[in-house]
Amino acid sequence: MPEFKDKVALVTGGSRDIGKAVSVQLAMAGASVVVNYYKNKEQADQTVDEITKAGGNALAIKADVTKSDDVARLVQSTLNALGSTIHILVNVAGGLVARKKIDEMDEEFWDQVIRLNLTSTFLVSKSVLPHMAEGGAIVNFSSQAGRDGGGAGAIAYSSAKGGIMSFTRGLAKELGPRRIRVNCVTPGMINTTFHNTFTKSEVRQRVASMTPVGREGEAFEVANLVLFLASDAASFINGASIDINGGILFS
């Protein structure tokens, strides 16, 4: 496992599923972790409790990462609690909201999905960067939907996730001279609340059967990739969007 002793990590959407797995694994590797959440304080507290009981250091901070004022408070609260530097940022927060085809959605819905996924990544990255040290790492979250357009009713979500890949490449170029790397994780079908909510069981079974490894992925497997990208072991990986989908789609 990579070593993150004396590092501070901020994980947006860090209280459940992939975000929780990332938070726990970063803490177990030695980082002090801020578990950001918005709606579910209980889940965030459970994640922090799991980390602290295992000997790690973490705290939960509520913030709506689609709002710049909330983001500013999140970052300042992180600095107040853990010191003047943030070494690792993982932008997990996002979601589909609902499946709507283009003739079913209005401008308000479109803006909501784009803001939840793409704008949030911009806002948090911009707010963290003045406090990120040379050698820092940002890991963003796209989706297989960003590559293939997603399933029915996912056009807004897939557009946002495709935008995150481009945002990652552009930011990697900007921050390279500061020795800050920016990469992107692009998951396929992962066993999470997201698919429990938005994907029919028969679709999940069909996708799993079509996947070369014959199953869905698990949150801890995605977290393993995040930790690698955030670590010095990935020191020459920058601007990449790395697929983790069991081989069902190649970029």
Catalytic residues: 157
Note the Cα 40 to chain centre separation in Å. 17
Reported for 41-45, long-range contacts at CB under 8 A and 24+ positions apart, including other chains, are 43/15, 43/16, 44/14, 44/15
Question: Residue holding tokens 């921050």?
Answer: 175
Identify the CA nearest to 60 among candidates 76, 73, 75, 47: 47
Question: Residue holding tokens 């602290």?
Answer: 52
Amino acid at 69: D
**Nearest-angstrom CA–CA distance, 157 and 220:** 23
Give the containing element (helix H, strand E) for 226: helix 219-230
